[in-house]
């Protein structure tokens, strides 16, 4: 898994820990629709214990965690939860600093992923990475777009990342504002219009090869949903 995908995978597991902070509801990153086959409006279960999540995945794959592994993983998660909490508190006390999953927390999440994988066997690592990739696709948004383009052989270039991330953040904010203004019952047509406008802006930020990959991916998603 390349570094950019490692980052997305790290965020996938780190978010449940970050979600235990008080300000998660307003600051946790949203995953916009349009880049996966997941139903629009699908919500994440942040409250779930990450260790229980890992246990379930490995049990189903026939490579269960040992008691020693569970203990080590829980210790790592406890340490990371405290680290996220402290980083969030520092962000709140810094004028102009964006709370939630800021770049510092993203780097912390990537390091967290590495620590977790170091506890797993090679087979368990393969199972976990595959599961994370599947979850990224289902959740959609920028991580799913990045994963899709990586797999298509047209990865997002470093100079594209900032603009694309800003676009997804702006779209998520617009979608959230519309939902809040409508008391959580926004007009589906209005939400679809926002999504189409968002997609058009994303396409403009991609190169021709990436655009073709995105169009083909959406065509496959539409076919599979029928």
Taking only the tens place, the pLDDT of each residue in 83-97 is 877 777 776 776 655
pLDDT value at 60 more than 70: yes
Any residues with CB less than 8 A from the CB of 47 and at least 6 apart, and which?
16, 19
More confidently predicted of 195 and 96:
195
Whole-prediction pTM: 0.67
pLDDT value at 224 more than 80: no
Cα 164 from Cα 218, distance rounded (Å): 18
pLDDT value at 121 more than 90: yes
Which tokens in the block code for residue 226? Answer: 């029928």
Any residues with CB less than 8 A from the CB of 35 and at least 6 apart, and which?
140, 141, 142, 144, 145, 148, 214, 217, 218
Tell me whether residue 148 is exposed, middle or buried, using C-beta atoms within 10 angstroms of its C-beta: 0 to 12, 13 to 18, 19 or more: buried
Lowest mean pLDDT among 34-48, 117-131, 185-199, 200-214: 34-48
Any residues with CB less than 8 A from the CB of 147 and at least 6 apart, and which?
5, 8, 133, 136, 137
Band the pLDDT of 33: cuts 50, 70, 90: very low
Band the pLDDT of 137: cuts 50, 70, 90: confident
């Amino acid at each position: 898994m390349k570094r950019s995908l490692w980052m997305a995978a790290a965020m996938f597991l780190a978010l449940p820990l970050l979600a235990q902070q008080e300000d998660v509801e307003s600051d946790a990153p949203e995953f916009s629709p349009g880049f996966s086959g997941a139903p629009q409006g699908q919500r994440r279960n942040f409250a779930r214990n990450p260790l229980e999540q890992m246990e379930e995945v490995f049990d189903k794959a026939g490579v269960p965690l040992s008691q020693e592994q569970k203990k080590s993983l829980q210790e790592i998660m406890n340490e990371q939860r405290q680290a996220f909490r402290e980083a969030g508190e520092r962000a709140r006390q810094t004028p102009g600093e964006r709370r939630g999953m800021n770049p510092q927390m993203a780097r912390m999440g990537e390091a967290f992923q590495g620590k977790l994988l170091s506890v797993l066997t090679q087979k368990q690592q393969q199972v976990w990475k595959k599961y994370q990739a599947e979850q990224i696709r289902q959740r959609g948004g920028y991580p799913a777009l990045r994963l899709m383009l990586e797999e298509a052989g047209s990865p997002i270039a470093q100079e594209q990342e900032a603009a694309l991330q800003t676009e997804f953040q702006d779209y998520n904010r617009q979608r959230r504002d519309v939902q809040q203004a409508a008391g959580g019952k926004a007009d589906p047509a209005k939400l679809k219009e926002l999504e189409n406008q968002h997609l058009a802006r994303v396409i403009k930020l991609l190169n021709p090869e990436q655009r073709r990959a995105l169009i083909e991916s959406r065509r496959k998603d539409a076919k599979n949903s029928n």
